[in-house]
Amino acid sequence: MIDRRRFLFLSALTVPLLSSRRSAAQKTDRVSTVKSKFPVVVSTWDSGIRANAAAWNVLGKKGRALDAVEQAARSAEDEISCCVGLGAYPDRDGFVTLDASIMDEFANCGSVAFVRHIKNPISVARKLMETTPHVFLAGDGAEQFAIQNGFERIPEKLSPEAQKAYKEWLKKSQYKSVINIENSKKRSEVITPYRFDDGSPNHDTMGTIALDAKGNLSGACTTSGMAFKIHGRVGDSPIIGSGLFVDNEIGAATSSGVGEEVIRICGTHTVIESMRHGMTPENACREAVERIVKRDPEKAKTLQVGFIAIGKNGKVGAYSVQKGFTYAVTNDEFPEGKVYEAESRFE
Ligand code: SD4
């Protein structure tokens, strides 16, 4: 296993187009633009490499981007120790509540929020999109819809890891948002740890965007939301235009980090609109980050948001508020996937 520095160094060497705005001081292993042919799939975080593998089973056989991103999200939801799905950390009342959204090349979209007891909310979102006139269901109604459509109701039970963390959290019961970064110390381990050493989650979301062999785009985003959130809180991930947006003429984008900040700037819609006006995916992600920082520069130093985007031509871009936001890219050149660390506003 190569170590992280060498891995990223090699990644940088093999990626021809680096950010034009990278200064000498920033001359590190960071990569915010990846030129790629299609099909290509991109997911947030190190664990995106496993989500991408599920997507590549579809995309590599010339399948549809929509099917690929759904499979990516499902694979993350199925991982019991992952940051998303029923194995994830609960809210402050001890309930795991999930949000998910999906969007296809025709601007069809479906979202569910504040859903409990359902293992694969992404597929509920797709079902809603494909079989009803609606785009967004929340809470009990979303659960009821899922069950009526054959999804199994899983009784509430925290995973042992989540149970332990929740007990620990209850001692102080203080909500403090964590800066989501990949745990670089353990990065070279094959199974990405989803927690910092103190047990707090280092991220809670899997966002996946894909461009298929026919040149069509789709995206999916699934999350357990911020750990220990207020019961009923919904973040950016299920909100079309915030945590996920796809415009088949332009590109696809998704986000991870503090959802409230993404919602305030309609984050992924902002990314796609910047691309519509000529920006590269990287610069469009950077522009969205700058809007977050400009609104409250001091607060921005204390939080994380990262965006990833794919343009219609297959070019991939990413940018984050804080260092440590990683993303995985899988394509014909790297069918096993490759993880990059995005450039960031703050070091
Ligand atoms: C949310 N954006 O619910 C999600 C959280 C996240 O890594 O991405 N964490 O606000």
Tens digits of pLDDT across the chain (347 residues): 333 433 333 333 333 333 333 333 333 357 888 887 889 999 999 889 999 999 999 999 999 999 999 999 999 999 876 678 999 999 999 999 999 999 999 999 999 999 999 999 999 999 999 999 999 999 999 999 999 999 999 999 998 888 988 998 899 888 777 778 776 544 444 344 555 555 556 778 999 999 999 999 999 999 999 989 999 999 999 999 999 999 999 999 999 999 999 999 999 999 999 999 999 999 999 999 999 999 999 999 999 999 999 999 999 999 999 998 999 999 999 999 999 999 999 98
Give the pTM: 0.89
Instruction: Say which of 205, 208, 222, 330 is annotated catalytic.
Output: 205
Look up the domain containing 85 and give its range. 4-346
- For ligand 1, whether the C-beta of 259 sits within 6 Å is yes
Protein residue with least CA distance to atom 3, ligand 1: 225
Asked if residue 261 lies in contact with residue 292, where contact means CB atoms within 8 angstroms, the answer is: yes
The answer to whether residue 205 is catalytic is yes
Q: Is 71 helix (H, G, I), strand (E, B) or coil?
A: helix
Nearest to 204 by CA among 217, 223, 228: 223
From the alpha carbon of 243, which atom of ligand 1 is closest?
2
Å from CA of 61 to ligand 1 middle:
31
Nearest to 306 by CA among 260, 255, 234: 255
Å from CA of 296 to ligand 1 middle:
19
Mutate to test the pocket of ligand 1, among 101, 224, 226, 228 (most ligand atoms within 8 A of CB): 226
* Number of domains the chain contains: 1
Nearest to 228 by CA among 298, 123, 293, 158: 158
Find the CATH number of the domain harbouring 72.
3.60.20.30
Å from CA of 306 to ligand 1 middle:
10
